Amino acid sequence: MTTNRQGTGASVRRHGRRLARTAAATAMGCLIAGAALAADDWTKSKWGPDDEIGAANNLSPEKVLEAAQLIKTGKTYPLGIETNSKTPAYAPRGFKIYVVQPGQTQGGSLGPTKTTYNDDIIEGWLGIGSQIDGLGHIGIDGTYYNGHQAKDFAAMTGLTKLGIEKVPPITTRGVLLDMAAHYGTDIVKEGTAFNKAEIDEVAKKQGVEIRKGDVVLFNTGWISLIGKDDKRYSSGEPGLGREGARYLAEKGVVAIGADSWALEAIPFEEGAGVFEVHQILLPQNGVYILENMNTAELAKDKAYEFMFVLGQPRYTGAVQAIINPVAIR
């Protein structure tokens, strides 16, 4: 009997250990599955399966009125730079303009008053100079904002989803974070990443709060290199870090921009993927990116809050657009 009881006890203990191992394995499997599910959550927009405008849903008449209250002097600031054949751009992008006089060769004109006119033709890329990156620009392994697959919407003749024409007018409160002043330099060093600590410190120093529906711009001095050191300008830049991108997205900002060609810190942060900040903002959070914003005058005037106005060209099916937003204070 004693032997039987001992054998039974040993069997129970072995069975208990098996159950514990099974439970542990099941729990681990659930954790892995849960992590995989969480990783996939970004493919479903919180604004619904038909949403194509992302964080622009955070715009509202109230934000327009809030921004209008910031106008004290009436001074306007063009945030776009001039775009021409010499504008440095991410290869192989380029830009050319041709001016023509149709039907007016050899001194031709129109009607008895001899009307003459000039027209222009653009040959170039929309992702050059001052630009907005639409939600169809960057994906993760072929998956774009709200789970759209490239094979289903990215046609040679234009995007059938997420086109730049879907973006509503962006009229809202703008916030400038002067990173050059923060670091005490005219040009912030390439590779310098702005994350939560830096963003909060500069915002506190300037006495501004970043709110839902805002547009946030960084001033780094980088754009001043154009025409002076185009090689350095194109080879790297200071900019937004991964943590900073997630932080601002969580705050509900509509768009984030900088006076640089790609917004994010390059060389990329240690361990970061190629243009991972773009991935965090565009496909994962629906936050628009504004590149090559001319923020120098805003920084000079310490205009840290202003009304931001952008009505981008509505090219049907376009991925990006050349823009000239206006700041008003």
- Burial of 100-130, coded b for 16+ CB within 10 Å and e otherwise, reads eeeeeeeeeeeeeeeeeeeeeeeebbbbbbb
Task: Give the confidence band of 224 by pLDDT, cuts at 50, 70, 90.
Answer: very high
pLDDT average, residue stretch 187-194: 98
Specify the higher pLDDT residue, 240 or 12.
240
Asked if residue 238 lies in contact with residue 219, where contact means CB atoms within 8 angstroms, the answer is no
**Residue 92: its pLDDT value, please?**
96
> Measured between alpha carbons, how far is 133 from 292 in angstroms, rounded to an integer?
11
Closest CA to 256 of 166, 194, 321: 194
pLDDT reading at 124 higher than 50: yes
**For 84-178, where are the alpha helices, taking DSSP H only?**
150-153
pLDDT reading at 223 higher than 70: yes
pLDDT tens per residue across span 51-70: 999 999 999 999 999 999 99
> Measured between alpha carbons, how far is 263 from 138 in angstroms, rounded to an integer?
14
> Measured between alpha carbons, how far is 254 from 137 in angstroms, rounded to an integer?
16
> Measured between alpha carbons, how far is 265 from 220 in angstroms, rounded to an integer?
11
- For strand 326-328 and strand 320-322, is the pairing parallel, antiparallel, or unpaired? unpaired
**Residue 40: its pLDDT value, please?**
57
pLDDT tens per residue across span 294-307: 999 999 999 999 99
Assign a CATH topology to domain 45-89+126-328: Glucose Oxidase; domain 1 (3.50.30)
Map tokens 């619904």 to a residue: 48
pLDDT reading at 38 higher than 50: no
Helices vs. strands in the chain: H and E counts, helices first: 9, 15
Asked if residue 287 lies in contact with residue 248, where contact means CB atoms within 8 angstroms, the answer is yes
pLDDT tens per residue across span 262-312: 999 999 999 999 999 999 999 999 999 999 999 999 999 999 999 999 999
pLDDT reading at 82 higher than 90: yes
Answering whether pTM is above 0.85, one says yes
Tokens describing residue 222: 């980088």
